[in-house]
Amino acid sequence: MDALVDPRPLRGEPISLDLLNTRWHGDQLFHDADGLAIWLASNGLTDRAPDSEATLAALLQTRDALLVLRVDPGDSAALNAVLAHGRIRRVLGPDGLPHDEPDVADPAWLPAWLAADDYLRLLARDPDRIRECMHESCILCFFDISQNGRRRWCDMARCGNRAKAARHYAQQTAQAQQKG
């Protein structure tokens, strides 16, 4: 069987932002037959959650809850409803050290719950570093881990260069109009 390839331009973001980024290209990923399987594989969840309609529904509910929070950080009811599907359980591992394990009764809810929990982790770490790409036609989100905290683009090679090229074109056009 051929390996499924994630077609999205931005991968490797924390799971909560990766879920938000499934909106890329008109929600194309989750509308493709293998889209959910690709997303589960991209997030290391293939063996932990079913590739099912129930999993997809839980993820879409979570994505909607995260979008609500992006607009209104005080509207936490929808995300709290997702979080009610699981909890963190503290265990003592075979290495003799304590570990946190997600405890979610329904495996279909595991990816959604992990994404919701991850968003809380990012908020606790630094909410100002949860960003949307500054390019006007891009909807991708990222967690800014740059040293100075000034990252503006989801990807400098794609969106950053397009913005720079547009700025340069506008400057050249303005200069040509002034001369002519």
129-164 pLDDT, tens digit per residue, is: 999 999 888 999 999 999 999 999 898 777 866 655
Q: Where are the alpha helices (DSSP H) in the chain?
A: 15-20, 24-31, 35-42, 53-71, 77-83, 110-125, 161-179
Average pLDDT over residues 50-60: 97
Residue 162's pLDDT is 61
CA–CA dist 147, 172 (Å, integer): 33
67-89 pLDDT, tens digit per residue, is: 999 999 999 999 999 999 999 99
Residue 1's pLDDT is 42
The ranges assigned to domains in the chain are 15-125
Residue 169's pLDDT is 53
Higher pLDDT, 92 or 177: 92
Residue 176's pLDDT is 64
Q: What is the percent of the chain with per-residue pLDDT over 70, rounded to a whole number? A: 88
Residue 165's pLDDT is 57
